Structure 1
Amino acid sequence: MKELIRFAAHLEMNFGPGVPFHDRWRAARRSGFRGCEFVWRNVELPAAAELQKAEPLAVSCLGGTTGAAAGARPVLILPEDRDRLMKDVETATAYARELSCRNLVMVSGNMIRDWSVEKHREEAVRSLRSIAPILEEAGVTALIEPLNSKIDHKGVYCDTSAEGFRIVEQTGSPNVKLLYDAYHMQVMGEPIVRTIRERSGLIGYYHLAKVPGRTEPIGGEIDVPAFLEAVADTGYDGFVGLEYKPSGDYRDVFRRLSDAYPEQIDGQDPIDENYR
């Protein structure tokens, strides 16, 4: 029997500026989402745990452990950041355990001048091997997310799923997998459905947004029903994170998504108009 794939709201990207974290959480819950993801650095753990108890939402993954550029630290590929990475992973896995979350999102970092692709990969693998014992003990998976280098993340090192799979395979830990972001990989021209069907054993989580524009996934270049069918056919039983920027008021967008995907967003609790 196929798994029913449900969507998780992204509590940073799916909202405009100025909306408090607790309002974002409650709005997602009361719009019919049953899962969410957010950057763990942006909220104190007790506050998140209290919200989860009061307004139950599964936390499907936690972002923010690594940065893409040197301005956001630690960076996965930098040897000088490795000790800091290990400490941050210890903190992140504490969040994950408390919130019953299985996944931490990590990005590769930007290309370093005069480094070969192989050098970038070697350093990424070393960093991941250094944190693998922490992940394995905690029962948490690090998700390597390839990002598109054509529009949103020019200069990023890992910009294809093929390179991401190499990192995962060479790390050799069951607690290191790939986050397959359909938006990023569509921008890079990858065959999304075929990749999912052929490499699902190395994929631990999925993201989705519309191409072009990175808004809510209604219309656009990605065949969302075919994407969801491919994911379900692999036996995947987790969430698909909606990492999009809303094209309008987030409440209107949530309603449009619920109408477009009634199975992925069950809509049992209508959105409360008091939430901004």
Structure 2
Amino acid sequence: MADKLKRRDLIKNLGLGAGILGFSGVANAFAGTSVLIANTGKDSDLSGKINHSVCRWCYNEIPLDEFAAACAEMGIKAIDLLKPSEWDIVEKHGLVCSMATDDFANITEGFNDPENHEKLQSAYKGLIKKASDHKIKNVICFSGNRNGMDDETGIKNCVKGLNPLLEYASKLKVNLVMELLNSKVDHKDYMCDHTDWGVKLVKRLNKPNFKLLYDVYHMQIMEGDVIRTIQENHQYINHYHTAGVPGRNEINDSQELNYPAIVKAIYNTGFTGYLAQEFIPTYPDKIAALREGVEICDI
């Protein structure tokens, strides 16, 4: 652990200083170390306890083929929130899509509005079939915004809209996973903004292939009490996302969450799914920032 902490500090300091050192200076500074900054050599000393993933959108400026290669080299197993056109690119690097999506998946217009059901059911059936063909297990979905709707009506509408899809997805061995998002900072008026609401929906649907995506960043903003909430509700959670609070940036000691403790709590629940980094990197070397985040979560 001490060695890992030293490596994290080195990544952090050199990442922050990359603009001063320049590329050659950073490269020389890393000579003789085993830290991966870019796609330069295999370096995966991860424990194997956590299935590491990362959200693609945070690194969109890096070509996906290059990004997937760098992820594979550092021991990341999967990439989140990929569209069907991107799946083949990551699969050739031995990675999987850990959470599938497509352009139609809309945070604000979700399953809590019956007017969206027909178009969403049609679009999701297509995505579920494609995911099944690629042996992708998880497809993301959203509640939608409240627009004045009360909690109980929202749950009833989501049940009505999701039930037919879950029957279809079950036959194809695909899970639908609804993300918990904050409605305080990033997604104003979003309905599935507390763990309690999401758990009520899971229980009402009562389908083994419907669970929640617990985003630590979002739920810290909305309700805090992260570890206890995970311990008490882990059976309703399929997937986890990370980011630092406040700011949604690196998960190091510049922010308030204790990610090693949180990840240990997740692991101790018996969780075998994916934990995906979803912070927006601020370091000049974004791959270095990702490596730091993965090591922080690698208990």
TM-score normalised over the length of structure 1: 0.83
C-alpha displacement at 1:259, in angstroms? 4.9
Match of residue 262 from structure 2: 227
Equivalent AA in structure 2 for residue 173 of structure 1: K
Moved over 4 A (4+): none
Measure the CA separation in 2 of the matches of 1:92 and 1:216: 31
Structure 2: where are the runs of 5+ without partners?
A: 1-46
Offset from partner CA, 1:227-273 (integer Å, 9 cap, x none): 11111111111110111111123123134335545x47xxxxxxxxx
TM-score normalised over the length of structure 2: 0.77
1:10 aligns with 2:48: no
Alignment RMSD: 2.1
1:257 aligns with 2:293: yes
1:62 aligns with 2:97: no
C-alpha displacement at 1:221, in angstroms? 1.6
Judge conservation of contact 1:181–1:208 (CA < 8 Å) in 2: yes
Judge conservation of contact 2:53–2:275 (CA < 8 Å) in 1: yes
Match of residue 82 from structure 2: 39
Match of residue 125 from structure 1: 159
C-alpha displacement at 1:50, in angstroms? 5.1
C-alpha displacement at 1:191, in angstroms? 1.1
Equivalent AA in structure 2 for residue 39 of structure 1: L
Judge conservation of contact 2:64–2:89 (CA < 8 Å) in 1: no
Q: Give the 5 Å matches for 1:134-149.
A: 134-149=168-183
Q: Give % identity.
A: 26
Structure label with greater radius of gyration: 2
Structure 1: where are the runs of 5+ without partners?
A: 265-276
Offset from partner CA, 1:181-211 (integer Å, 9 cap, x none): 1111101133111111111111111111111
Structure 1 pair 259/201, CA: closer, same or farther in 2 (3 Å)?
closer
Bigger proportion of residues as helix: 2
Equivalent AA in structure 2 for residue 212 of structure 1: P
Match of 1:82 among 113, 117, 130: 117
Judge conservation of contact 1:106–1:145 (CA < 8 Å) in 2: yes
Judge conservation of contact 2:277–2:293 (CA < 8 Å) in 1: no
Measure the CA separation in 2 of the matches of 1:154 and 1:99: 34
Measure the CA separation in 2 of the matches of 1:213 and 1:50: 31
1:191 aligns with 2:225: yes
State the aligned residue count. Answer: 250
Judge conservation of contact 1:104–1:143 (CA < 8 Å) in 2: yes
Judge conservation of contact 1:67–1:76 (CA < 8 Å) in 2: no
Measure the CA separation in 1 of the matches of 2:165 and 2:296: 40
Equivalent AA in structure 1 for residue 273 of structure 2: G
Judge conservation of contact 2:100–2:138 (CA < 8 Å) in 1: yes
Measure the CA separation in 2 of the matches of 1:36 and 1:224: 20
Equivalent AA in structure 1 for residue 116 of structure 2: D
SS in structure 2 of the partner of residue 240 of structure 1? strand
Judge conservation of contact 1:10–1:36 (CA < 8 Å) in 2: yes
Judge conservation of contact 2:216–2:240 (CA < 8 Å) in 1: yes
Equivalent AA in structure 1 for residue 73 of structure 2: R
Equivalent AA in structure 2 for residue 189 of structure 1: E
Equivalent AA in structure 2 for residue 98 of structure 1: D
Structure 1 pair 118/61, CA: closer, same or farther in 2 (3 Å)?
same
Match of residue 23 from structure 1: 66
Equivalent AA in structure 1 for residue 49 of structure 2: L
